[in-house]
Structure 1
Amino acid sequence: MSSEVLTVSSKGQVVLPAKLRKNLSIKSGDHLAVYTAGDVIMLKKIEMPKEEDFKSHLDEAQAWAKSVGYRESDVNDAITAVRARKRS
């Protein structure tokens, strides 16, 4: 693990050092997720799945849902139930 000290600009921006960007293959336009816990800030690079990987995961999820007897209407019922709990 490595550490760096960064400075926050007047606009709230920080610059990731070039060595860090290179080591993590972070390029202009990449997206980072920001997590916080107390006074800790963590950044994680987000990589979009390739279309074939996404399709594979979707096919796997659909096969599982079918194997346990879920129907498309079950999804709508679950969404409605969660929304009702959030309102109360």
Structure 2
Amino acid sequence: MTEIIKVTSKGQVTLPVGVRKELDIDKDTYIAVETIGEYIIMKKVGLKLKELSEVLQKAAKDKGITKKEIEKAIGKARKEVWA
């Protein structure tokens, strides 16, 4: 199934209904996104919260992002949202 979708000004895309139904994707579904050359690969993943946390921790570590940097970014985002 190939469909053309448009990226919004916020960088978001909407998955077509047919794709969501075929893969049983709903609002609580996690999707892994990877780039290979000019291609964007999306894959439905079934992660539990602990597994998701481990994946995110590894990704941060691989990129050299420290826990302190993450906490600082969260604090900044909270101030912006709740200001």
* TM-score, normalising length: structure 1: 0.52
Instruction: State percent identity of aligned pairs.
Output: 42
Deviation at 1:48, TM superposition (A): 2.5
| Residue type of the alignment partner of 2:18 | K
Q: Distance in 1 between matches of 2:25 and 2:18?
A: 10
Unaligned runs of 5+ in 2: 49-83
Deviation at 1:38, TM superposition (A): 1.0
Tell me what 1:3 maps to.
2
Runs of 4+ in 1 over 6 A off after TM superposition: none
Is the radius of gyration larger for structure 1 or structure 2? 1
Alignment size in residue pairs: 48
Contact 2:30–2:47 (Cα < 8 Å) also in 1: no
Task: Indicate the SS of the match to 1:22.
Answer: helix
Tell me what 2:34 maps to.
35
Q: Distance in 2 between matches of 1:13 and 1:6?
A: 10
Unaligned runs of 5+ in 1: 50-88
Q: Distance in 1 between matches of 2:12 and 2:28?
A: 15
Task: Indicate the SS of the match to 2:35.
Answer: strand
Q: Distance in 2 between matches of 1:42 and 1:11?
A: 19
